[in-house]
Structure 1
């Protein structure tokens, strides 16, 4: 009788516990981190079929970022790379906001999507401001924009607004045919404006690395070669302590698994 894959996963995870514990911040206990990992795997069984080393690398990246792969702070998503399933760690909006608060430079940081029936206006110049009154009916219409507002410790406010065509331009750079943009599109829209806004905010170096974490999920070569499209940063700092398999080094034709 073949082994239960969940039992095998749990056994491997227990062996890696010392490495995870060394990477985790003090406020996240290893027992909690392991429970969240198991819940994530049980919620998305496709992770059981991922290359095991990539799965543990994704978990290690989450630990080093000091975030939980709980679907809110971040998520571990299965991708198909050169015919082989690999796992990818993706920080989410709640995770970015949490790290920003912990960095101490930002008091509050929020981001929202704007729908067709919402009342929305914004101005730049000497007195920049955003006014947004969401429509409370059952049909708000399509998303037409997303925005981010940050209040710094000194009281200064910073804004970023992206129209839907700008957001779609970023979405089209994604290497994924199916994945987070299909599963939770508004979350990814909010994250897109958050990422752009982050480049003009005072961040610590580790938070900057976190914001750039999922650069590898986008076709940055295409963005650099298209002068009409705003470029994304292409430098990445490798956080994983275990090497990726050779197949995972080239993600040009990667396809996430829904």
Structure 2
């Protein structure tokens, strides 16, 4: 008996046609929201450029156009509020992911995005991260006389045994912390390495996690408090508005009314 192949109903759109229609709808809606996006961006960025970058990302990954529009535009506005350009130089990415059966656009902040936001603060003077392998020379101590010394080995350095991050301000303050791979894995919710198939031999995602932890120890005006809340999740437009309320759109600096550069002030 010959098995018959299922026949697509006449007029039923193919996946490619569905994606094209979704991209066209997204394109139209994005241009309608261009003024709102421009208002969210820091003053040194333009809405035209941001829209072009987003359209390029959607053309490269049409599945983004099929995501829940509330999460897609919420994540876009969140990226705009932080002054990060999706897909460009690894500042952030829009990632389509299923959540309880709904395809959402999640915002993933990259290492370079965190670094960019840190250096936008006028008090920032020093930033470094690294990974330590078992054949490296490494010494650290905390307390009243902190020490952090790292000399990478030449050739085969062995497996990674530590991650660290250091940040400094123009007040002379420097803060660092050191983490084991197990600690970083826990902080990342069990994730190891980069998301997807992108190779990450320099362990940038783990170093980003270490850096975010160190920035929590800095004065709140340089804490990048919005990034941990924004990273790795889908957003609504109200999420973006909350973040925008805590960001100086002229500089991209995260604001906190309870801290001045000279120290905490009484509320």
TM-score interval for Structure 1 and Structure 2 normalised by the shorter chain: 0.7 to 0.9
Q: Secondary structure at the match of 1:69?
A: coil
Superposed CA offset, 1:140-183 (max 9, x none)? 43322211111211222211111112112223456xx9972874
In structure 1, the residue matched to 2:37 is 20
Q: Is the alpha carbon distance of 1:152 and 1:19 closer, same or farther for their aligned partners in structure 2, counting shifts above 3 Å?
A: same
1:10 is aligned to 2:27: yes
Q: CA deviation at 1:43?
A: 3.4
Q: Secondary structure at the match of 2:94?
A: strand
Q: Secondary structure at the match of 1:180?
A: coil
The structure whose residues are more often helix, as a share, is 1
Q: CA deviation at 1:205?
A: 7.9
| CA–CA distance in structure 2, aligned partners of residues 63 and 126 of structure 1 | 41
Q: CA deviation at 1:14?
A: 0.8
In structure 2, the residue matched to 1:33 is 50
| CA–CA distance in structure 1, aligned partners of residues 158 and 118 of structure 2 | 31
Map 1:133-148 → 2, pairs under 5 A: 133-137=151-155, 139-148=156-165
Q: Secondary structure at the match of 1:85?
A: strand
User: Contact (CA 8 Å) 1:103, 1:203: kept in 2 or not?
Assistant: no
Using the size of structure 1 for normalisation, the TM-score is 0.73
| CA–CA distance in structure 2, aligned partners of residues 58 and 160 of structure 1 | 30
In structure 2, the residue matched to 1:162 is 179
* Structure with the greater alpha carbon radius of gyration: 2
Long gaps (5+) in structure 2: 1-12, 243-267
User: Contact (CA 8 Å) 1:74, 1:91: kept in 2 or not?
Assistant: yes
| CA–CA distance in structure 2, aligned partners of residues 63 and 130 of structure 1 | 36
| CA–CA distance in structure 2, aligned partners of residues 206 and 197 of structure 1 | 9
Partner residue of 1:119 out of 119, 137, 149 = 137
| CA–CA distance in structure 2, aligned partners of residues 135 and 48 of structure 1 | 46
Q: CA deviation at 1:16?
A: 1.1
Q: Secondary structure at the match of 1:149?
A: strand
In structure 1, the residue matched to 2:103 is 85
Stretches (4+) displaced over 4 A: 1-5, 181-185
In structure 1, the residue matched to 2:116 is 98
* More displaced stretch, 103-112 vs 22-31: 103-112
Q: Count how many residue pairs are aligned between Structure 1 and Structure 2.
A: 220
Q: Is the alpha carbon distance of 1:131 and 1:240 closer, same or farther for their aligned partners in structure 2, counting shifts above 3 Å?
A: same
In structure 1, the residue matched to 2:240 is 240
Long gaps (5+) in structure 1: 218-236, 243-258
Q: CA deviation at 1:90?
A: 2.1
User: Contact (CA 8 Å) 1:57, 1:241: kept in 2 or not?
Assistant: no
In structure 1, the residue matched to 2:221 is 204
Using the size of structure 2 for normalisation, the TM-score is 0.71
In structure 2, the residue matched to 1:180 is 195
User: Contact (CA 8 Å) 1:64, 1:239: kept in 2 or not?
Assistant: no
Q: CA deviation at 1:200?
A: 0.8
